[in-house]
Amino acid sequence: MSSSKTLLITGVSSGFGRALAKEALAVGHKVVGTVRSTEAKRDFEALFANAAFARVLDVTDFDAIGGIVAEIEASVGPIDVLVNNAGYGHEGIMEESPLSEMRRQFDVNVFGTVAMMKAVLPFMRERRRGHILNITSMGGHITMPGIAYYCGSKFALEGISEALGKEVKPFGIAVTAVAPGSFRTDWAGRSMARTPRSIADYDRIFDPIRKAREEKSGKQLGDPQKAACAMLAAIAADCPPTHLLLGSDALGLVRDKLSALAEEIRAWEAVTVSTDG
Ligand code: NAP
């Protein structure tokens, strides 16, 4: 590796965050990871003496974020790379799922991520360098029934990442939205929030989807360790991508979506342009 960097990664207790932290430590980077318990903090710091540091933070504790980031900058060193990984999936038919579940989904996946970026940006801007990776999802490009709130949160994050990238490019800061397909993490297991069923009309469309997701959990195609290596390649790149898909499932589904979208735009083109003038 050419240069050692300091990475701040949210949610390093399992899944992508843990895998990325381990791979980054193995190639000589310093990692500050956020966790949600003192036990997880001890466990993470035991990974690598003097290179693995943990801070206890729930990303929805918005008022605490600025202080923690400033403390990391002062005590560990300048944050070169922020990886907003902390997040979870809400699963539930939209009509059945209370607004409180949507608020929680957006608080963690969107507002928590934005709060982290707002805390880190003044330091990166001052230094005129930095890289932010936001872990979105293929669900930030494509949708399926039963995860409307999740897709909404990840579409939001894709949009925010892309717009922010344009705002901070002049300051030497890159923003990459990383959209994984299905990977073997705790996402569809312990981390998923599942709204109970209540409207029989949706049984036919949704029950097979919920069952298949439960059965597939732990057996998904994607390997988080390989995702970690792919993210490290993006971090090392001179010109990091704005969007990075991970996994052949994500590639196929997003390509299909884009060509269906192009086809629909073509089919309705006459109506589209009829509103000018
Ligand atoms: P995971 O193994 O369940 O890891 C999720 C991590 O996020 C855990 O460390 C968890 O901490 C942390 N977290 C959750 N809510 C948090 C909060 N409010 N504040 C701070 N930390 C919080 O699942 P994962 O798949 O690695 O998830 C990481 C990211 O990848 C998520 O944004 C997810 O949406 C995205 N993603 C996953 C997949 C997939 O197939 N696995 C696909 C596309 C995108 P605790 O241990 O304390 O709960």
- The pLDDT tens digits of the residues spanning 156-191 come to 999 999 999 999 999 999 999 999 999 999 999 999
- Whether 19 is in a domain gets the answer yes
- Whether 23 is in a domain gets the answer yes
Q: Give residues with Cβ within 8 angstroms of 40, minimum separation 6.
A: 13, 54, 56
- Whether 75 is in a domain gets the answer yes
Closest residue CA from atom 22 of ligand 1: 86
- Whether 258 is in a domain gets the answer no
- The span from the CA of 152 to the CA of 106, in Å, is 8
- Asked if residue 87 has pLDDT above 50, the reply is yes
- Whether 268 is in a domain gets the answer no
Closest residue CA from atom 31 of ligand 1: 87
**Which atom of ligand 1 is nearest the CA belonging to 154?**
34
Ligand 1: list residues with CB < 6 Å: 10-11, 13-17, 34, 36, 58-60, 85-89, 108, 135, 137, 180, 182-183, 185-187, 191, 220
- Whether 259 is in a domain gets the answer no
CA angle 87, 219, 141 (to 5 degrees): 45
The total domain count for the chain is 1
Domain limits at 71?
Answer: 6-252
Give catalytic residue positions: 150
Pocket test for ligand 1, best of 16, 31, 55, 62 (most atoms within 8 A of CB): 16
- The span from the CA of 250 to the CA of 185, in Å, is 16
Proportion of the chain above pLDDT 90, given as a percent: 99
Instruction: Tell me the CA–centroid distance for residue 187 and ligand 1, in Å.
Output: 6
The Cα diameter of the chain in Å comes to 66
Report residue 122 as tokens: 């003044």
Instruction: Tell me the CA–centroid distance for residue 272 and ligand 1, in Å.
Output: 40
Write the CATH number for 235: 3.40.50.720
- Asked if residue 1 has pLDDT above 80, the reply is no
- Whether 176 is in a domain gets the answer yes
Instruction: Tell me the CA–centroid distance for residue 154 and ligand 1, in Å.
Output: 13
Please write the tens of the pLDDT for every residue from 13-69: 999 999 999 999 999 999 999 999 999 999 999 999 999 999 999 999 999 999 999
Amino acid identity for residue 246 in this structure:
L
Closest residue CA from atom 20 of ligand 1: 58
- The span from the CA of 54 to the CA of 46, in Å, is 10
**Which atom of ligand 1 is nearest the CA belonging to 87?**
32
Per-residue pLDDT averaged across 142-150, rounded?
98
- Whether 151 is in a domain gets the answer yes
Q: Would you state the pLDDT for residue 3?
A: 84
